[in-house]
Amino acid sequence: MANYLITGGAGFIGSHLVHALVARGDQVRVLDNFETGLRKNLDPVRDRIELREVDLADAAAVQQACQGIDYIFHEGALPSVPRSVKEPRPSHEINIGGTFNVLEGARLAKVKRVVYAASSSAYGNQPGFPRVETMSPQPLSPYAVQKLTGEYYMQAYWRVYGLETVCLRYFNIFGARQVPDSPYSGVMARFTLMMMRGDRPAIFGDGEQGRDFTHVDNVVRANLLAIEAPREKAAGQVFNIACGQRHTLNETYALLATFIGFQHPPIYGPEREGDVRDSLADITAASEVLGYVPEVGFEEGLRRTVAWYREEFAGQEKGTQ
Ligand code: UD1
């Protein structure tokens, strides 16, 4: 049993980690400012965790929250590429400044290891697939720059202070509890809810852009493995966390529509600013060093996701013909 701090623990990915740790009997402290996280994500475990309403920009509160902690999962962030394009300052402050505060807190509190939610957006639009961690990053959007800066900070804290850090580059994570109705929602959550409500989703561009969509259960597994991986091989390193398969948006749309019973074609609109065209991961390093295997495949992930939204948004389903 160990003491864990999860930043962004009320959010989509963070809350899955909280549930997993509580289930195995670990002590969990959650930080969240509830800007994008939701209290209800923690309801089932509320009496078994310590919850602190803290903004990652509050250095003193973050530092205090690191006291007595063995391991940190740093999931707190202002996600979304388009949000960072529209309003770069808040995402800069949280994604870079907040990450710095977490590292400083971890260093001063002598935390054993920090696992960081990095992003596949670091690769940008350079040629060469699948993406391997040794490629030079080419971030396109403010969000990509911010998440990549966080990686550099993680690596510097390992090199300079000996704080063990592991960066996991997430590739388009989806699953239960992903917010579906914000303008900045991930595509899978957004399409699922819209189709359930009978609304036609919009595809930005021709729909032939590809993503290595990865179910959230795989990410939870990867994080737990990143804590256990040997320091000599994992500390200061970056790992792709994905399925190693590319699916186009058109293909994803069609499959979701089949599962939901939605029979309308998408509306095609202009390409999104700062959008990456294609994304596909090489997951060899995560497999060799962490022992990571994507246990939930794309289709099974979609099935589970649709089932969850059906239950969560019961009564809102209509127009599925
Ligand atoms: C990016 C990162 C991902 C990161 C995420 C955080 C890449 C390859 N991926 O995801 O690692 O975790 O940001 O937010 O950079 N789309 C539509 N219609 C919609 C919404 C989206 O067509 O209504 C399209 C987008 O234009 C894009 C694709 O769907 O081509 C995926 O978009 P989204 O779910 O927002 O994620 P990314 O920006 O790819």
Q: What is the DSSP letter of 286?
A: I
Pocket flag, ligand 1, residue 240 (CB < 6 Å) = no
Q: Are 125 and 210 in contact (CB under 8 A)?
A: no
Select from 103, 105, 112 the least CA-distant residue to 149: 103
Select from 43, 24, 188, 25 the least CA-distant residue to 9: 43
Active site residue 143: yes
Pocket flag, ligand 1, residue 210 (CB < 6 Å) = no
Q: What is the pLDDT of residue 1?
A: 84
The correct answer on CATH 3.40.50.720 for the domain covering 3-174+214-241 is: yes
Nearest-CA residue for ligand 1 atom 20 is: 187
Query: CB atoms < 10 A from the CB of 97, how many?
Result: 14
Give bridge partners of residue 278 from the DSSP assignment.
210
Q: What is the pLDDT of residue 321?
A: 45
pLDDT in tens, the chain (321 residues): 899 999 999 999 999 999 999 999 999 999 999 999 999 999 999 999 999 999 999 999 999 999 999 999 999 999 999 999 999 999 999 999 999 999 999 999 999 999 999 999 999 999 999 999 999 999 999 999 999 999 999 999 999 999 999 999 999 999 999 999 999 999 999 999 999 999 999 999 999 999 999 999 999 999 999 999 999 999 999 999 999 999 999 999 999 999 999 999 999 999 998 899 999 999 999 999 999 999 999 999 999 999 999 999 998 887 544
- Helix 216-228 × helix 12-23 angle, to 10°: 60
Q: What is the pLDDT of residue 133?
A: 98
Query: CB atoms < 10 A from the CB of 60, how many?
Result: 10
In degrees and rounded to multiples of 5, residue 212 shows phi and psi of: -95, 70
Catalytic residue among 4, 71, 123, 143: 143
Q: What is the pLDDT of residue 110?
A: 98
Residue 67, C-beta contacts closer than 8 angstroms, at least 6 positions apart: 109
Q: Residue 192 is inside which H or E element, if any?
A: helix 187-197
Q: What is the pLDDT of residue 319?
A: 54
What SS3 state is found at 166?
strand
Pocket flag, ligand 1, residue 172 (CB < 6 Å) = yes
Q: What is the pLDDT of residue 150?
A: 99
Pocket test for ligand 1, best of 74, 78, 80, 121 (most atoms within 8 A of CB): 121
Give bridge partners of residue 168 from the DSSP assignment.
117, 239
Residue type, 281: A
CA distance 2 to 52: 18
Pocket test for ligand 1, best of 170, 190, 211 (most atoms within 8 A of CB): 211
CA-173 nearest atom, ligand 1 = 12
What SS3 state is found at 208?
coil
Q: What is the DSSP letter of 278?
A: B
Q: What is the pLDDT of residue 317?
A: 81
Q: What is the pLDDT of residue 239?
A: 99
Check whether the bond before 137 is cis (ω within 30° of 0). no
Report how far ligand 1's centroid is from the alpha carbon of 22 (Å): 30
CA distance 225 to 214: 17
Q: Are 174 and 210 in contact (CB under 8 A)?
A: no
